[in-house]
Amino acid sequence: MAVALRSWRRAGSQLRARDIERRLEQALAERRSVDPRIQLAILVMMNLMATTPTPAFLDIAGLVLAAALLAYGGRWVNALKWLVGYAALWLVAVLCSVSADPFLVSVGAMLMMMRKMYAIAMLATHLVLTVRVGELACALQRMHVPRLLIVALSVSLRFFPTLAAEASAVVGAMKLRGIRLSLHSVLQHPLRMIEYFAVPLMLRISVVTDEVSRAATVRGIDSRHSRTSLYALCIGRADCCFLLSFVALTIASAVCAYDSLTFMGLF
């Protein structure tokens, strides 16, 4: 009877594992998203564009392509919010630049420099919010990236969401004690706000770091064998279209920068 019960449990666990794998494959097939390898390549190209003095229409074209990438993944609302934010940033920068006040002119120049990094922040935020850690690790492993770099990128991908969650928990605990975290309270009692907010946050982050390291050790992060993955990654037509579009945009940016004799600051 014990043998039969053990066999039934083993068969049940196998069925559950197959059901979970089938549901995961179905969810991945229904979800439209750009391959993580393509997103990383696009992010690198946008960083190269940010270092070149490109015309404004190329920056706008990069922003439109980034918004199209977000919309392709079903994040229409976020894409519209990013576009509205870019328009507002551009308007404030132009108004500050035409002002007669030297301080406002310097602020406008700083905002113009931030405009170059806007699409990078847009793509990086989309990468963090949409790509799972397992997908990123699988993609990097297929690219034959060194294991230490895979671990570093996987941990950094989850760092910012974890930091935001822990900060929200600390703010909630402060509210329960009747302490409000606002600009007025920070300016009025800066040391007290550091004690109430920054110190608990740093202590919590240290605990989370230990938990992450233990979980990575349990999952065999230091194993020398090749790791398997539940995620089946493939590059489709939409991925190729996005990649070719950003490659063409990067080449156009390099040509414009070379014509102005300031390509990457080398000439």
In this prediction, residues 105-120 reach a mean pLDDT of 84
Helix (H/G/I), strand (E/B), else coil: 56: helix
Q: Which of 224, 247, 42, 225 is nearest to 131 (CA)?
A: 42
> Mean pLDDT throughout 36-56?
84
pLDDT, tens digit, 9 for 90 and up, residues 169-195? 888 888 888 888 777 777 777 788 788
Output the pTM of the full model. 0.69
Task: Single out the residue of 150, 126, 149, 125 nearest to residue 138, CA to CA.
Answer: 150
Question: Residue 216's pLDDT band (boundaries 50, 70, 90)?
Answer: low
Quick one: which of 216, 215, 235, 206 has its CA closest to 147? 216
Residue 168 has pLDDT above 50, yes or no: yes
Q: What is the mean pLDDT of residues 185-212?
A: 80
**Buried b / exposed e across 76-95, counting CB within 10 Å, b at 16+?**
eebbeebbeebeeebeebee
* pLDDT given for residue 4 in this prediction: 43
Residue 94 reports pLDDT greater than 70:
yes
Q: Is the pLDDT of residue 3 over 70?
A: no
Q: Give the separation between CA 249 and CA 46, rounded to whole angstroms.
A: 9
- Reported confidence tier of residue 52, pLDDT bands at 50, 70, 90: confident
Tens digits of residue pLDDT in 116-147: 888 888 988 888 888 877 777 778 777 777 77
Q: How far apart are CA 194 and CA 172, in angstroms?
A: 15
End-to-end CA distance of the chain: 82
Output the six-digit token pair for 263: 């390509």
> 98 pLDDT band (50/70/90 cuts)?
confident
For tokens 């935020």, what's the residue? 125
